[in-house]
């Protein structure tokens, strides 16, 4: 997908903004707190109608305003679409070519944005939740079935935890919910296993280009129970074994909400043994890898790289900038950067203007 034009009204620091973008790299330059990330956030919002910076969507509305909107004109091959997202006190409304969109999956089928932010440099070293989130977001983009499964899992997990909080008095219901929880997790584990395998097919190539050297690397995913044909029995046993502790702690200690993956880099765990540079570039490579899993060129995602160059040394920065040629449309924010062939925008005074 190509984002051809973006119109913001009362979004974050922008009272109004109307920009046309180039099909390759778009550089968004400006001093600190000028509104660069706000603009990147609006682009990312098209992907899942969610921000990576806040759960509180009202924070996206410009101070003093009651509503905001993001209007985007996107192109997929020869197909032109208009997406409108409105946020107000009453909630969020999404329109596609003027028609209301009822399910998020309708939006996520046509828009796809990959994101890399400064905090991602710690993706492998940081807490597992960030890694799971990467898996869930990327997989939800690929499969509406997966999106539905994790939604159902979250609901069941909440019910189970509520029952545990009551001291497990309703043992029968606890067993039923646990059984349903196991059922929904078998396909979740299978999706995750398959996706990690797919990522492993492209990740070494991306990392090689970004590092300028050949290395061996592969993601290692550890399901909470092995899926070797007897998932159900293993899971049932695991929940039985965990029950006493779960009742004591009033929460579910095992399951796909606790899973994790790591990266073996030249034979060793990157979080444990990798240098800072290796960790950063491995995280960047992983977050860009989904780009290469999408075969149809018109459906390739947009890449948003917020302030990443400040996290990379000169050499890695140069390699990343050279690498952008392999990606489709990209958006890079930075205080200062030059890149031949890029469309350049300057952000200041809550406005953004095109400079070339």
Ligand X SMILES: Nc1ncnc2c1ncn2[C@@H]1O[C@H](COP(=O)(O)OP(=O)(O)O)[C@@H](O)[C@H]1O
Of 239 and 345, CB closest to ligand X = 345
Site string for Mg ion, 296-315 (x = CB under 5 A): -----------x--------
Q: Where on the chain is the footprint of ligand X (CB under 6 A)? A: 12-13, 30, 32-38, 59, 61-63
* Nearby residues of 295 by Cβ (< 8 Å), 6 or more positions away: none
Name the phi and psi angles at 4, rounded to 5. Answer: -90, -35
Residue 315 Cβ vs ligand X, minimum distance, rounded to whole Å: 25
Q: Which residue stretches of the chain are H helix? A: 36-48, 104-110, 128-142, 144-165, 171-211, 231-249, 270-273, 276-288, 314-323
Which DSSP state fits 223? -
Residue 36 Cβ vs Mg ion, minimum distance, rounded to whole Å: 5
Chain Cα centroid distance, residue 167:
36
Of 196 and 305, CB closest to Mg ion = 305
Residue 346 Cβ vs Mg ion, minimum distance, rounded to whole Å: 15
Of 270 and 312, CB closest to ligand X = 312
Residue 28 Cβ vs ligand X, minimum distance, rounded to whole Å: 8
Of 13 and 111, CB closest to ligand X = 13
Residue 123 Cβ vs ligand X, minimum distance, rounded to whole Å: 20
What's the rounded Cα separation, in Å, for the pair 61 and 70? Answer: 11
Of 68 and 139, CB closest to ligand X = 68
What's the rounded Cα separation, in Å, for the pair 157 and 66? Answer: 35
Of 62 and 71, CB closest to ligand X = 62
What's the rounded Cα separation, in Å, for the pair 329 and 85? Answer: 21
Task: Find, among 155, 233, 151, 162, the residue nearest to 188 by Cα.
Answer: 151
Which DSSP state fits 118? G
Residue 308 Cβ vs ligand X, minimum distance, rounded to whole Å: 12
Among 10, 13, 26, 37, binds Mg ion (CB under 5 A): 37
Which DSSP state fits 101? P
62 binds, among Mg ion, ligand X, none (CB under 5 to 8 A by kind): ligand X
Residues lying near Mg ion in the complex (CB under 5 A): 37, 307
């Amino acid at each position: 997908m190509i984002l051809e034009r973006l119109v913001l009204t009362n979004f974050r620091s922008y009272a109004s903004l109307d920009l046309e973008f180039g099909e390759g790299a778009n550089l968004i330059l400006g001093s600190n707190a000028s509104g660069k990330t706000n603009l990147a956030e609006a682009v990312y919002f098209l992907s899942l109608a969610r921000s990576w910076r806040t759960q509180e969507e009202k924070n996206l509305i410009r101070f003093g305003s009651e509503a905001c909107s993001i209007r985007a004109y996107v192109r997929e091959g020869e197909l032109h679409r208009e997406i409108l997202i409105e946020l107000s006190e009453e909630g969020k409304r999404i329109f596609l070519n003027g028609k209301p969109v009822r399910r998020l999956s309708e939006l996520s089928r046509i828009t796809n944005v990959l994101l890399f932010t400064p905090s991602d440099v710690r993706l492998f070293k940081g807490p597992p939740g960030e890694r799971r989130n990467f898996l869930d977001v990327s997989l939800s983009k690929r499969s509406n079935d997966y999106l539905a499964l994790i939604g159902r899992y979250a609901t069941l997990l909440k019910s189970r935890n509520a029952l545990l909080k009551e001291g497990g008095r309703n043992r029968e219901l606890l067993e039923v919910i646990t059984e349903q929880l196991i059922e929904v997790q078998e396909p979740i584990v299978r999706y995750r296993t398959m996706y990690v395998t797919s990522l492993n097919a492209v990740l070494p190539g991306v990392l090689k280009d970004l590092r300028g050297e050949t290395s061996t690397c592969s993601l290692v995913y550890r399901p909470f129970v092995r899926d070797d044909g007897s998932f159900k029995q293993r899971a049932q046993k695991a929940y039985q074994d965990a029950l006493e502790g779960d009742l004591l702690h009033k929460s579910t200690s095992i399951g796909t909400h606790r899973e994790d993956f790591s990266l073996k880099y030249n034979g060793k765990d990157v979080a444990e043994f990798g240098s800072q540079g290796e960790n950063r570039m491995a995280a960047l490579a992983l977050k860009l890898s989904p780009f290469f899993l999408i075969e149809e060129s018109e459906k390739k995602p947009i890449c948003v790289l917020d302030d990443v160059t400040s996290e990379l040394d000169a050499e890695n920065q140069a390699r990343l900038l050279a690498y952008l040629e392999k990606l489709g449309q990209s958006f890079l924010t930075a205080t200062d950067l030059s890149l031949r062939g890029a469309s350049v925008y300057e952000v200041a005074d809550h406005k953004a203007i095109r400079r070339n």
